[in-house]
Each structure stands twice: as C-alpha cells, then as structure tokens.
Amino acid sequence: MTTYELLLIGGGAGVGKTSVAWEVSAALRARGTAHCFIEGDYMDQIHPAPADDPDRSAITERNTAALWANYAALGQRRLLYSNTMSVLDEPLIRRAMGGDAVRSTRVLLTAEEATVRARLAGREIGSQLDAHLASSLRKARHLDERAPAGTVRIPTDGRTVQDIALDVLRAAAW
C-alpha cells in the first residue's frame, strides 16, 4: 500500500497562507521533490450552495478527490493543501486522498492583528476590508481554540515568506 503525505497550511486571511504555500512549492521544486499543490479556496466555488451541502464541504471533498486522483495517477505522493480551515478539515482531505495511508502535518500560520490589518488593507481595495478583517480575526480565534493537538503554529509577523516556508518544510520533514 502506498503511503501519501499531506501538508495542510491554514490560518486566517492575511497570515500569508497562499504566499507561503507557493514558496513551499518553489522550494520543493528547487530540491527536485515531487509534490502537487491545491489551493483549497477554489474547491467550493459554487453559488448557490447545493441544497444538500450548505457549507459546501461535500463539493470540496469531491473536487479535491478528483484532483488528487489525477495527481496520484501520475505517481504523486505528496499533497500541499492551503485553505483557511484546512487544519480542521484534515479528515475531509484525508478521505479525498483515499483514507488511512496518509501521513499528515498540520501547520497553522499566525499573525498579530496589526499585521493582518496591514496585509488585508494592501489587497482589499473594494468595500469589503472591514468585513474581511472581522472574519479573519474571528476565524483565527476559532482555529487557535480548535486546532487539533500536534498542529504546528508558525508566526508570520515581520518575517520573509522564504523563512516561513522553510519552517513549514521542517515541520513536515519534507
């Protein structure tokens, strides 16, 4: 039985999940380490939500399973998955990868409110800055309280994306 490896990167908006995940992928490419990367934000983009799937978790699982099946068919064993709640959604992602033969690492990126505010202000140029900030802070608290034991917390304040990515890779032992 093939054992797969899963690296989950989670955290509130503005902590740097996507930037760090892309940097982790770049570092892995530079090392010649086979892997694939799924940006989880795109796995549930359907409106309206299906009547029997109001939180869109079933469509997320189906879409992730479809992508993973294609990657696994090409011989991939490592999946890098980034999404706000990914560290809480580990069971869903593991099922999408086929279940029990998955070794997981959960990384929760963190940042102080001032850092999150500055980062979001730099990218939210429309009317949604206050809503995104409030949502990010609420989700960060929720993640901090509910992240399973063994979740690695990595602060991102005042650090380069490259340094954070190296910490993530060390946490995963990739």
Positions of E strands within 15-147? 36-39, 78-82, 102-110
What is the pLDDT, as a whole number, of residue 139?
A: 95
Q: How far apart are CA 128 and CA 122, in angstroms?
A: 12
State the Cα angle at 71 between 55 and 106, rounded to 5°: 55
Q: How far apart are CA 174 and CA 171, in angstroms?
A: 8
Q: How many residues does the chain have?
A: 174
Q: How far apart are CA 117 and CA 98, in angstroms?
A: 38
| 155 SS3 class | strand
Sheet (strand 36-39) strand order: 36-39, 78-82, 4-10, 102-110, 152-155
Structure-block tokens of residue 31:
């090392």
What is the pLDDT, as a whole number, of residue 124?
A: 83
What is the pLDDT, as a whole number, of residue 96?
A: 97
Superfamily, domain 4-172: P-loop containing nucleotide triphosphate hydrolases (3.40.50.300)
Q: pTM of the full predicted structure?
A: 0.95
Mean pLDDT per block of 10 residues along the chain (174 residues) reads 93 96 98 97 96 97 98 97 97 92 97 94 87 92 96 98 98 97
Q: How far apart are CA 58 and CA 36, in angstroms?
A: 22
- 137-164 as b/e, with b when 16 or more CB fall inside 10 Å? bebbeebeeebeeebbebebeeeebeeb
Element (H, E) at 58: helix 57-73
**From the centroid of its chain, how far is CA 67?**
15
What is the pLDDT, as a whole number, of residue 73?
A: 96
Q: Taking the domains of the chain in order of start, what are their residue ranges?
A: 4-172
